[in-house]
Amino acid sequence: MRPDVIVVGGGVMGCSVAYRLAKNDVRVLVLEKSVPGAEASSAAAGILGPSVELFRDAFALQLGRRSRELHAHLSDELDELLGIDVGFRRCGVIKLAFDEADRVEIDAQASALEANGVRCDRWTREELLAEEPSCNPETHGALHVAEDAQVEPKTLLSAVALGAEREGAVFRTGSAVRNIILDGRQARGVKLDGEVIEADRVVVAAGSWTTLIPGIRLDANAIYPVRGQMLATRTRPPIFRRIVFGAGGYVVTRPDGQVLCGSTEEHVGFARGTTFGGMAQVIQTATRIAPALENAAVRGHWSSFRPGTPDGLPLVGETHVERLLLASGHFRNGILLAPLTAELIAEAIVGEPPSREAKALSPRRFEETS
Ligand SMILES: Cc1cc2nc3c(=O)[nH]c(=O)nc-3n(C[C@H](O)[C@H](O)[C@H](O)COP(=O)(O)OP(=O)(O)OC[C@H]3O[C@@H](n4cnc5c(N)ncnc54)[C@H](O)[C@@H]3O)c2cc1C
């Protein structure tokens, strides 16, 4: 059957868009060159932390907070629909200050958050250690925000993909889209190896690979890969209750004691893998946050590519090419922003007048117009 919408890419963005559209009775076909979740979405730590990641920009902060709340609903919905717990937990986040300059910085961050309606606490070293005894005792206090959360990205991804299928979306794995087929200034479908598939609309959610697909007419630098390396261990009991940021990285603890330590930000094109230098940086950061991790066993390490953009905001919505939409470029916050992105794409497809968010995230700000 001819799909209404083709979604290119089966990461968290493609799966979330497919789920959201299929729920609205749109016939969706997801084309994934590998398998759903093959790339950045499975590598992520699952931090839903706008108060640390997005506090510098009041608009982005509110986008992140709104999407974090959509996650809370989505998690209940997926549990009800499929019986899958995606690990949404409002665990809160902490940001450590290791010297006086850090302390001034977190104080300014707290003021910026409070000015935007976010409740936060400024903890002394003693208060911090009473709450999280495994934190480095040599800190100058910490910022605590209770409203931020975490999710288990791999479980979320498979639940959203299953949910989309349950609602009627069709997934095709091993299907690399070679180009967008254009009819004048309109997208008519996509071309795979030896096959053409037509649809009313095409949504490209190909993460760091988005600008590589011919026909998109997007400046090549509008979305670029930023490699991030991660390392996993496990502690018993779980080392922290909250997500802890500091020393340029973070430590995320799951309730079962799994610990994820991240991460680097490297501009190395699509070079895959973990490196000695990257791992050294991650280990140094993690053990500065929690000295006890020095004795922890390495349980795994991996890397993937965050889709970065020049202005730090994603590209979501309609492009200059009619019937061609993008859901891409979410950099460090793609897990966080997936439900909001899916909502904006659904609104664009039913033809609702663009909201303030939709206008600000419009891909047209980077497109080649010729
Ligand atoms: C180490 C690391 C830690 C992170 N931690 C967090 C975090 O804690 N919280 C958070 O919110 N975000 C985090 N992120 C960011 C987040 O992972 C990304 O922003 C998000 O996963 C991007 O999702 P996506 O679906 O756009 O891209 P991807 O997950 O990369 O998916 C794109 C998909 O498109 C497919 N594809 C590409 N080209 C084609 C084609 N031509 N045809 C068909 N399919 C194609 C790929 O195979 C891939 O499956 C992290 C990222 C990294 C690397």
CA atoms within 13 A on the CB side of 34: 9
CATH for 295: 3.30.9.10
- Residue 58 forms part of a structural domain: no
Tell whether 164 and 133 lie within a shared domain: no
CA of 331 to the centre of ligand 1 (A): 8
- Tell me how far apart the alpha carbons of residues 333 and 310 are, in angstroms, rounded to a whole number: 15
Q: Is 209 in the pocket of ligand 1 (CB under 6 A)?
A: yes
Residue 14 Cβ inside 6 Å of ligand 1? The answer reads yes
| pLDDT tens sequence across 58-109 | 999 999 999 999 999 999 999 999 999 999 999 999 999 999 999 999 999 9
Q: Which atom of ligand 1 is nearest to the CA of 337?
A: 11
For residue 331, the ligand 1 atom closest to its alpha carbon is: 19
Q: Could you report how far apart the first and last alpha carbons of the chain are, in Å?
A: 34
- Provide the H-helix boundaries in 8-119: 12-23, 40-43, 50-53, 58-82, 100-115
Strands (E) across 278-351 are located at: 300-308, 315-318, 324-328
Of the residues 283, 308, 333, which one is the last residue of a structural domain?
A: 308
- Identify residue 85 by its one-letter amino acid code: D
206 lines ligand 1 (CB under 6 A): yes
Q: pLDDT tens digit string along 149-181? A: 999 999 999 999 999 999 999 999 999 999 999
Determine contact, residues 103/140, Cβ cutoff 8 Å.
yes
Task: Give this prediction's pTM.
Answer: 0.98
Atom of ligand 1 nearest to the CA of 205: 26
Is position 55 within any domain? no
> Is 110 contained in some domain?
yes
Torsion of CA 229, 233, 238, 239, to 10 degrees: -60
Number of folded domains that form the chain: 2
Boundaries of domain holding 177: 5-48+154-223+310-365
Query: How far does residue 307's CA lie from ligand 1's centre (Å)?
Result: 7
Nearest Cα residue to atom 3 of ligand 1:
44
Q: Which amino acid is residue 101, in one-letter code? A: A
Average pLDDT of the chain to the nearest whole number? 97
| Residue from 216, 279, 332, 340 to probe ligand 1 pocket by mutation (most atoms less than 8 Å from CB) | 332
pLDDT, one tens digit per residue, over 232-278 is: 999 999 999 999 999 999 999 999 999 999 999 999 999 999 999 99
The CA 339 to ligand 1 mean position distance, Å, reads 14
Beta bridge partners of 304: 228
Instruction: Write the CATH number for 327.
Output: 3.50.50.60
Mark whether 219 and 333 lie in a shared domain.
Answer: yes
Task: Look at residue 298 and tell me if it is in a domain.
Answer: yes
67 found inside a domain: no
Do 234 and 250 fall into the same domain?
yes
